[in-house]
Every structure is written in C-alpha cells, then in structure tokens.
Amino acid sequence: MAPTLGKRKRITREELEQSSRASSPSSDSQCSDREDMQALFRKAFEAKFAPLDIEPVRKTQKVEESEEEAEEESDWSGISSSEDENETSNGVQVFDYASAHEPPTKASKSEMRAFMSAKPPSLSKSTVAKPVPKPKKEDDSVEAAHLKNDLELQKLLRESTLLSANAPTYSTRTGSTRERKDARHKLTDLHIQSLGAKKSIFEQKSMPMSHRKGIIAKAKMREEKRRAEAKENGITLEKERKTKKVFGKRERGVGGPSVGKFKGGTLTLSKKDLRGLTSSSGDKAKGKKGRRR
C-alpha cells in the first residue's frame, strides 16, 4: 500500500505481538530448554521412585506429560485429581466459612444492656437502632435556606418598631450618624433581651435618688393613666403585676447595735425603734397562735 499523508495506519494487536516476539526470540527458547530439562529429570526420578503429583504449570508441559504418562497410567491410579479443591480424597466436601468473614462490629451499648440484663430479652421489639435516612443534598440546601429566611423574617418583625414612623429618632433611614448609632444600640439591646438578659442595657445603673424616684413615679403615672383610659373605654387590659416588697433584715455592720443608730458616741433610738421595744411581744405571739388555731 502506498504511504499516504494524514492519519497513520493503526497497528493491530497481532502485528504488535509478532513484532515483540520477534524482538526476543532467545528468552523463549531458553525457557523451553529449561522445561525440557525439568521434564527429563522428572522422568528419570519417576522411573526410579514413585510418580510425582506436581500440578502441571504450563499447557505445553501438560500435553507432554499426558503423552509421557500414558504408559505409566496403570500403576498411577491412587492419587486423585487435584482440580477440585473442595473435595478431599474420601469424597466429603468441606466448606470453611470462617475464612471469609467480615470485620467485627460491636453492638451498641444500649443493646448490650438490654440483652445482658437480668430480664429475658424481649422478642418483639427490635433493639437495633435504625439508621436515620439522610436527606438529599439539594433538599438539605433548600431546607437550610428556608430556615435562614424564616429567622430573618422573625428578626425583622421584632425590630420593625424601630423602623416605624412613630419613632423617627430611631429610624435608620434618616441621615445622622448619631441616630444610626442609637438604632444599632437599640437593636443590640433587643437582641440581648430576647436572648434572656435581665434588664436593658439602657437602664442607668447609678443616678441621683431623686431622679430615679422621678422616673419611677412618671412610669407609674403613665401606667395608671393608661389603665384608667382603658377602663373608661371598656377595654380589658392585662393583669397588673404587683412587685412584691422584700422585707429582709437590713444589712448592718459587724459590732453595730442591734437597735437604733450609733453615731458620735451616742445611741439614737427613733420613735419606731421605741415602739418596737415597748410594745409587748406577747401580743404578737398570741395573735399568731390564734390564727393558727
């Protein structure tokens, strides 16, 4: 065939094998020589002693052997063929499953407790924990997105009071940086309170007593006003929550007097203290007893 430009002609497998065989003829001949030698030795050995039952390795060798052993077949019937590995000489098939076995896995602790306890293990219910079906990847991502959106929506609803027109000072849209900062603090406060803070961060810790009193009074007044208006309009409000007054024993200094006030070397007793001292304690006890009965 005339050589053509363009694609090279594809080399077939046979050609390749032929070429490789041709390249190393010596090795093959050597190999066959060795086999012949082995066969000769073997033949000599078998002529002198018992025949060997080596499994034929090569096909060529097997053919030779079958020719050689044709004449010796008569005194060579004792050894069975080794082709069937499962079959031993007396025809009993042996299966060994122990060899092919899986890596050991341990049962769960709860299952062990259930089985090894004193009670007879219950038959009906399966103690094996069923594997939780894993959600598919796309489902997972969609779910996650939904959850995220949900959270954001809830947050927005909670903080929408800050954006309302009624409280323009906290609006984030109006320009000044101070107001924006304020809104941010307010947001943080809301967050913290929703997470379970006891009081707002805007609550001033220390201030003049009169101021605090004023603030409390004002809040109280506002609340009363709201309630009064609601009552007039016939609106039912939430129940008033009364804060319990705590009457604890006042913390006193060590070594101080148990009654009155010690100042400037004199113990001063107030009228209240005097009342507490002079009033007979028996009355109280009597009253208590009476109530109990």
> Residue numbers of the site for other proteins (CB under 8 A)?
97-102, 104, 106-107, 111-112, 115-116, 118-124, 126, 128
Rounded Cα gap, residues 119 and 212, in angstroms: 68
Complex with other proteins: residue 113 or 211, whichever CB lies closer: 113
User: For residues 123 and 254, which CB has a smaller minimum distance to other proteins in the complex?
Assistant: 123
- For the bound state, the minimum distance from the C-beta of residue 111 to other proteins, rounded and expressed in Å, comes to 7
Nearest Cα to 79, choosing from 46, 48, 57?
46
118 versus 195: smaller Cβ distance to other proteins = 118
DSSP state of 260: S
Between the alpha carbon of residue 177 and those of residues 12, 153, 172, 181, the distances in Å are: 82, 26, 9, 6
Fill in the amino acid letter for 44: A
CB atoms under 10 Å from CB of 9, counted, come to: 9
Q: Give yes or no for a contact between 52 and 59, defined as CB atoms under 8 angstroms apart.
A: no
Distance (Å, rounded) from C-alpha 31 to C-alpha 22?
Answer: 15
How far apart, in whole angstroms, are the C-alpha atoms of residue 279 and residue 237?
Answer: 44
- Cβ proximity to other proteins: between 119 and 245 the closer is 119
Closer CB to other proteins, residue 122 or residue 154?
122
86/97 Cα distance (integer angstroms): 12
User: With respect to other proteins, which residue has the nearer C-beta, 124 or 166?
Assistant: 124
Spatial contact of 127 and 111, defined as CB atoms under 8 Å apart: yes
Give the CA-trace dihedral at 30, 31, 36, 42, to 10 degrees. 130
State in angstroms the smallest separation of the CB of 126 from other proteins.
8
Closest to other proteins by CB, 118 or 157: 118
Question: How near is the Cβ of 124 to other proteins at its closest, in Å?
Answer: 6
Question: What distance lies between CA 158 and its chain's CA centroid?
Answer: 31
Q: How far is the CB of 159 from other proteins (least distance, A)?
A: 54
Residue 132 CB, shortest distance to other proteins, in Å, is 18
Q: How far apart are CA 33 and CA 28, in angstroms?
A: 9
Greatest Cα-to-Cα distance within the chain, rounded to the nearest angstrom = 141
Instruction: Identify the burial level of 170 via C-beta atoms within 10 angstroms of its C-beta, where 0-12 means exposed, 13-18 middle and 19 or more buried.
Output: buried
- At closest approach, how far in Å is the CB of 73 from other proteins? 41
Nearer to other proteins, 120 or 248 (CB): 120
Question: Minimum distance from CB of 133 to other proteins (Å)?
Answer: 19
Q: Supply the minimum distance, in Å, between the C-beta of residue 129 and other proteins.
A: 12
Question: Could you tell me the CA-to-CA distances from 12 to 1, 257, 289 in Å, in that order?
Answer: 16, 117, 119
